[in-house]
Structure formats: structure tokens, C-alpha cells
Amino acid sequence: MAEKDPRIGRTTQPVTMRVEFGKIREFAAAIKDDNPIYFDEDYARREAGGVMPPPTFTMTQAFWDSHSNRIELGMDLRRVLHGGQEFEYVQPVHAGDTLTARSSITDVFKKPGKRGGEMTFAVLETQFSNQRGEIVLYSRSTIIETAKPVEKKD
Amino acid sequence: MAERRKLDYAAVREGDELPKFEVKNLTRTDIVRYAGASGDFNPIHHDQTFASGAGYPTVFAHGMLNAGFVSKCLTDYVGRPNLRKFSVNFRTQVWPGDTITCGGKVTRKFEERGEQCIEGELFAVNQRGEVAITGSFVAALS
């Protein structure tokens, strides 16, 4: 049996992010979502207790981080793909909340590539808690390092 | 703004389809806007020289931008506060000029922890019928 990949269990320092109304609006516009729950504070207060971020908004957390706090996976950026993403919503999040994210590598495994070589898969789980210490969300990213640069199609 | 119609658990049937959401002719500007909004400036999504060097014909959309389009289709149907789980797998890239159609269907109704839930499948396809995203969701309607 293969030894456990040494990257499994690597964690980040906690990262704090403010959930800002302006950033929510900008993000919603970028995904072409005109839902008033992202834009209209009165409507959102009635419908959801306040403006909520779009379901994928917390992905922005990774970029609030300083580079020194990244988990080192030793992957070649030219060959890295985002394979999949999963969110579990535990408690509502609203504009004005302060979230603390804690990330760790929960799995690393290899599979043969379609054109030879090996593909590496890594699962990064991030747990978000709010300013009251309640867990509000889990996010799980599957990162793939392809075996070699993708060949240009003719 | 107009009130949105609420999805009624009793009226939902397994096999019901989500109303489709279409993004026509995705532009490089759309991709750059998402880079700015998300903070994801991986150059493969905006820098042609970098993308060519990595063997791609052009830049391509962030998987999470396409996931965002799917999430819009989903939350228009179930209502944003009702969403409990959302997951996507990225199957093929979305390129500038592509038209993306997002949809899905309800596959199961069930009750869990006192909540009336629906579970379903999601997809995004391009204008050639190639699947860019497959996904799934759980929403609580009670």
C-alpha cells in the first residue's frame, strides 16, 4: 500500500474576511445574477434577514490571504486545473458578517493521465465560522495537476 | 422590485426541470470581470501569451464563473436562503464566444431534520452540446 502523501493534513493559519455589500454586488454582477437579494437591502431584509452573498462567493476568501499563508502543494501552475467544488451551507451568511476560514488538505491521490504520465488530485477543505463562532459553511475544492501541458487541437 | 415566486414543496415533483438560464457569447471582458470580482487572477484566464504557452488556443473562463452561472439558475428556482448543498464538477473549458445553457432537474424529495428537502442534478452545456459542468444540489423548502 502506498504511503500517505505528506501534503495531507497541511493547514493554513485562519484567514478573516469581511462579507461586504459592495463586493457582493460586484460578484453577483460578474455571474450575471440580478437577484434583488444581492442588490436591494429592503427586499433582502424581508426575504432573508439581510443581503446574502451568492452561493460561490466565499471562493473570494482564498485571495484575501497573503501568499505566505498558502498551502504549498508543489504543483506547476501551467498544469493546474480546478476539478470540482462543493459547498455545504450550515447557517445563513449576511453582508456585514466577519468570517474566519480555516483550510486544510484532506486528501491527495494520483491517477494515470489520459495521455500517459500521472495526474495528481488534491482536496482542500475550508471551514468558515462567523463572528459568533458558529460554523456557517464548508467548502471543498478538488485541484488537479494534469500529467503534462494540454495539447493544442488543430 | 418584483417579488419572486416561492417554490412550494407540495407542488414540486421528482423530474421537474429548472427553468434554463443562458449566457450568450461569453466575452473576454466577462472573464476579466469575474477575475476582478473573485480575486482570482490566474493568468491562464486573461493572459493570451500565458495561455498559449501552456498549450491552450485562447484564455478560458474560470470554472467558478461557469459555476456562478449554474448557481444563478439554481437559486432562481429554489430561492437563495433555501440552499443547503451545491456541488459542481468541471468537465470541459468554456471559451470566449461560447454560449452556455444552465439547467437541471429535481431527482428526489425527502424530509430531514424537520425540513422538507429537494435534491437534484445540474448542468451547463455549450452551443455544441458539450458538457462544461455537471453538478448537484439540496434545498430545504419548508
What are the residue boundaries of the structural domains of chain B, listed by start? Answer: 13-140
Q: Is the pLDDT of residue A149 over 70?
A: no
Which candidate from A29, A47, A88 shows the least CB-CB separation from B81?
A47
CA A60 to CA A43: how far, in whole Å? Answer: 25
- Cβ of residue A91 closer than 8 Å to a chain B Cβ: no
What are the tens digits of pLDDT across the range B54-92?
A: 899 999 999 999 999 999 999 999 999 999 999 999 999
Chain B residues in contact with chain A using a Cβ-Cβ cutoff of 8 Å: 1, 4, 23, 30, 33-34, 36-42, 44, 53-57, 62-65, 67-69, 71-72, 74-76, 79-81, 83-90
CA B29 to CA A89: how far, in whole Å? Answer: 31
Q: Is the pLDDT of residue B3 over 50?
A: yes
Give the lowest-confidence range in A7-21, B15-29, B57-71, B121-135: A7-21
Query: What ipTM did this prediction achieve?
Result: 0.95
Residue B95 or residue A152, greater confidence: B95
C-alpha grid cell, residue A77: 501552475
Q: Is the pLDDT of residue B28 over 60?
A: yes
Q: Is the pLDDT of residue A126 over 80?
A: yes
Q: Report the predicted TM-score, pTM, of the whole model to 2 decimal places.
A: 0.91
What is the distance in angstroms between the Cα of A27 and the nearest Cα belonging to chain B? 5
Per CATH, the architecture of B13-140 is what?
A: Roll (3.10)
Helix or strand holding residue A101 (H, E): strand A98-112
**pLDDT-based confidence at A68, cuts 50/70/90?**
low
**pLDDT-based confidence at A65, cuts 50/70/90?**
low
Cβ separation B33–A29 shorter than 8 A: yes
pLDDT value, residue A154: 47
Taken in order of first residue, the domains within chain A and their CATH numbers are: 15-19+66-146 (3.10.129.10)
**pLDDT-based confidence at A2, cuts 50/70/90?**
low
pLDDT value, residue A79: 84
CA A6 to CA A61: how far, in whole Å? Answer: 25
**pLDDT-based confidence at B1, cuts 50/70/90?**
very low
Which candidate from A23, A26, A82 shows the least CB-CB separation from B90?
A82
C-alpha grid cell, residue A22: 459592495
**pLDDT-based confidence at A19, cuts 50/70/90?**
very high
Strand partners, B103: B123
CA B72 to CA B100: how far, in whole Å? Answer: 13
What is the distance in angstroms between the Cα of B9 and the nearest Cα belonging to chain A? 18
Cβ separation A77–B42 shorter than 8 A: yes
